[in-house]
Amino acid sequence: MKIEMLKNPRYGVLTALLSLAVSGPSYAATAQNTSVTPQAVVELFTSEGCSSCPPADTVLRDISRETDNLLLLSFHVDYWNYLGWKDRFSEPAYTDRQRKYASFNHQNYVYTPQIIINGAGSIRATNKDAILEAALKKPSPLQSWITITTDSTAGQKPGGIIHLAAPANALPHTPLKIWLLGFDRHASTEVDAGENAGLNLRHVNIVRELDDLGTWDGKPRDIPVRLEYECNGGIAVLLQEENGGPILSASMARFH
**Domain locations in the chain as residue ranges:** 14-254
Residue ranges, the chain, pLDDT below 50: 6-30
| Model pLDDT, residue 171 | 84
| Model pLDDT, residue 155 | 65
Answer for the pair 76, 47: CB distance below 8 angstroms, yes or no.
yes
Continuous H helices in the chain:
54-66, 92-104, 128-136
| Model pLDDT, residue 2 | 64
C-alpha angle 134-116-172 in degrees, rounded to nearest 5 = 90
Sheet with strand 33-34: strands edge to edge = 33-34, 146-151, 159-164, 221-226
